[in-house]
């Protein structure tokens, strides 16, 4: 009996070891996000510990016997294929999405469905620690703005909405940024409800119902938080402490919202019927047990091997030439006082950085610094990987500590769409207009999410280079929005010729 128990324990540990080894690049990046305690996945360490605790309890209660259930090789093979494709195409999002299903399907191969059921929640809650949920941030931001449009209208507050920016008339502007999407409350609420259901419920319908209610509570808590901040900003002419420091308030409000959630959870628990007897575990043929374990481990290791082999043939330029001077003409001349512009983006992990600064030749006054300044900023990633990505949370068009956002819009210039932002320096009052866009493997996109998705056709075309291009203009007496258009037109043509010459395609 003792030998059987040891064999039952070694099988899942062996599978887990092969899973971590085969997906180490992604697993390590996920764990690193858990240590960023001011982001949406700071609950990862606690949830991983809870997953281990619940898994140990489930293992002691069910004592699954390793076997071989070949039907589960189909979903396992599909997950392995998706993970390998994500690695080859540098689509970390795809790898993140299939990470937990990959582990679950591997366990199903050696345990079968009935023996896997007690581990669905203990292992499945790890899905709330994987940062593919970031892709919900943008629609959640827009949903938050939509709900608050309705509520602000009920109060009779005058405002204007531009995307995720809410302008309170004669008061100030708010940006419903990624941190205001409510993603953190949503993930924490779903995690708590899943754990509560595992510990207290026998019926799956109650677990699912509590999870759905927790989603509503998480979203409602965030909508109320944003609404109170808007209302206080309007009532106090932006002087309320909540306007600039609302993190603590948000968590207090979320904690209060958990009270009715767990009252409802307790009502469900008391209303459960007597537990039905558990279905017997699948019969296992002992000789086939280790064959399933070994076959599963080989499949789990295969994506890392595939990605490593294909990466050898991926071409990355050894040396990238400098871009030509893009704005030097009779109206603009190179300027070498880099800090004169004041504005500078916040970009992490770029392989090549090229900055060009120019001053306007017209209107120069002897003894004074140039009034009209223009800049072209090019940030290049030769081959993206975790921590060195064109689209990531760390990359910002401006430093929010020093600059405030005035307006945001888009404009089509020479057949390409560009995003436009108008920024104001919080200390000096200087205003800068910035036009920006993304070139991903030869595909031009004007915003972050389409740029991320463009990695798929770019990889199929054999291109892994990605660039963030920005053209900025500052002047005291000019129409910045109109005047930046010819600058982008002039810089764009030689810039895209340079990209084709340097990277191909």
pLDDT 10s digits, 331-355: 888 887 767 788 989 998 898 999 9
Residues 218-237 have a mean pLDDT of: 88
Place 275 in a pLDDT band, splitting at 50, 70 and 90. Answer: very low
Pairing of strands 431-440, 416-425: antiparallel
CB atoms within 10 A of CB 153: 11
Q: What is the pLDDT of residue 261?
A: 92
pLDDT at 78: 93
| pLDDT > 70: percent of the chain | 89
For the chain, the average pLDDT equals 84
Residue, of 361 and 422, whose pLDDT is higher: 422
- Is pLDDT of 8 > 50? yes
- Of the candidate ranges 382-386, 413-417, 442-446, the one whose mean pLDDT is the lowest: 382-386
Residue 141: partners with Cβ closer than 8 Å, 6 or more residues away: 164, 176, 177, 178, 180, 181
CA separation for the pair 224, 123 (Å, rounded): 32
Closest CA to 112 of 288, 352, 300: 288
The pLDDT of residue 308 is 67
For residue 84, the tally of other CB atoms under 10 A from its CB is: 20
> Looking at 125-129, 324-328, 429-433, 453-457, which range is the least confident one?
453-457
Q: What is residue 164's predicted lDDT score, i.e. its pLDDT?
A: 76
| Rounded CA separation 453/437 (Å) | 14
- Give the pLDDT confidence score for residue 277 in this predicted structure: 45
Tally the C-alpha atoms within 13 A of residue 462's C-alpha that lie toward its C-beta: 7
Summarize pLDDT for 321-330 with one digit per residue, the tens.
788 888 878 7
Of residues 14, 12, 43, the one with CA closest to residue 30: 43
8 Å CB contact between 299 and 132:
no
pLDDT for 213 equals 94
Task: Output the pLDDT for position 233.
Answer: 83
First CA to last CA across the chain, in angstroms?
Answer: 65
Q: Is the pTM of this model over 0.85?
A: no
Q: How far apart are CA 394 and CA 386, in angstroms?
A: 12
- pLDDT tens for 100-140 read 999 999 999 989 899 999 999 999 999 999 988 887 887 88
For residue 1, what pLDDT band results from cuts at 50, 70 and 90? very low
Stretch 258-274: mean pLDDT, rounded?
83
* Residue in the structure block whose two tokens are 């019926």: 203
The dihedral sign for the CA sequence 444, 448, 454, 455? positive
Judged by average pLDDT, the poorest of 96-110, 160-174, 398-412 is: 160-174
Phi then psi dihedrals of residue 7, to 5 deg: -65, -40
Backbone region of residue 275 per phi and psi (left: phi > 0; alpha: psi in -120 to 50; beta: other values): beta
* Candidate ranges 116-120, 312-316, 338-342, 400-404; pick with highest mean pLDDT: 116-120
Q: What is the pLDDT of residue 163?
A: 72
Q: Using DSSP, state whether 406 is helix, strand or coil.
A: strand
Element (H, E) at 278: none
So what's the pLDDT on residue 361?
A: 84
Tokens 């789990």, residue?
A: 300
What are the structural domain ranges in the chain?
A: 2-135+180-214+236-310, 332-503
pLDDT in tens, 20-60: 998 888 898 889 888 876 667 888 899 999 999 999 999 98
């Amino acid at each position: 009996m003792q030998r059987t128990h040891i064999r039952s324990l070694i099988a899942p540990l062996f599978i887990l070891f092969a899973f971590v080894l085969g997906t180490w690049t992604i697993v390590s990046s996920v764990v690193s996000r858990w240590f960023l305690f001011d982001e949406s996945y700071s609950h990862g360490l606690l949830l991983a510990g809870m997953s281990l605790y619940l898994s140990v309890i489930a293992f002691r209660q069910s004592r699954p016997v390793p076997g071989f259930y070949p039907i589960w090789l189909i979903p396992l093979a599909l997950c392995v294929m998706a993970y390998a494709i994500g690695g080859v195409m540098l689509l970390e999002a795809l790898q993140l999405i299939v990470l937990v299903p990959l582990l679950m399907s591997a366990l199903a191969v050696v345990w079968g469905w009935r023996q896997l059921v007690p581990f669905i929640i203990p292992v499945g809650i790890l899905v709330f620690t994987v940062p593919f949920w970031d892709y919900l941030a943008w629609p959640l931001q827009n949903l938050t703005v939509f709900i608050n449009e309705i509520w602000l209208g009920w109060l009779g507050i005058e405002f204007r909405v531009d995307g995720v920016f809410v302008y309170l008339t004669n008061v100030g502007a708010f940006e419903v940024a990624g941190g205001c999407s409510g993603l953190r409350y949503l993930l924490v609420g779903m995690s708590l409800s899943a754990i509560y259901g595992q510990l207290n419920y026998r019926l799956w319908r109650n677990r699912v119902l509590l999870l759905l209610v927790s989603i509503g509570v998480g979203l409602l808590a965030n909508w109320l938080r944003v609404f109170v901040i808007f209302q206080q900003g309007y009532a106090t002419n932006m002087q309320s402490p909540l306007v600039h420091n609302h993190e603590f308030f948000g968590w207090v409000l979320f904690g209060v919202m958990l009270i009715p959630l767990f009252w409802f959870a307790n009502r469900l628990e008391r209303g459960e019927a007597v537990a039905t007897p558990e279905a017997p575990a699948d019969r296992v043929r002992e000789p086939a047990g280790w064959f399933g374990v070994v076959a599963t481990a080989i499949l789990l290791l295969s994506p890392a091997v595939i990605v490593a082999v294909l990466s050898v043939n991926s071409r990355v330029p050894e040396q990238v030439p400098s871009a030509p001077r893009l704005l030097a003409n009779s109206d603009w001349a190179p300027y070498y006082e880099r800090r004169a512009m004041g504005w500078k983006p916040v970009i992490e992990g770029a392989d090549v950085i090229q900055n060009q600064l120019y001053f306007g030749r017209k209107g120069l006054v002897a003894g004074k610094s140039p009034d009209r300044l223009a800049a072209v900023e090019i940030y290049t990633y030769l081959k993206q990987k975790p921590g060195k990505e064109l689209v990531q949370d760390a990359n910002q068009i401006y430093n929010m500590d020093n600059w405030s956002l005035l307006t945001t819009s888009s404009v089509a210039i020479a057949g390409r769409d560009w995003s436009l932002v108008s920024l104001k320096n919080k200390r000096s009052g200087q205003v800068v207009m910035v036009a920006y866009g993304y070139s991903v493997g030869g595909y031009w996109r004007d915003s972050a999410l389409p740029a991320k998705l463009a990695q798929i056709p770019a990889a199929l075309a054999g291109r892994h280079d990605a660039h963030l291009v920005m053209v900025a203009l500052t002047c005291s007496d000019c129409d910045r929005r109109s005047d930046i258009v010819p600058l982008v037109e002039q810089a764009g043509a030689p810039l895209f010729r340079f990209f084709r010459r340097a990277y191909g395609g």
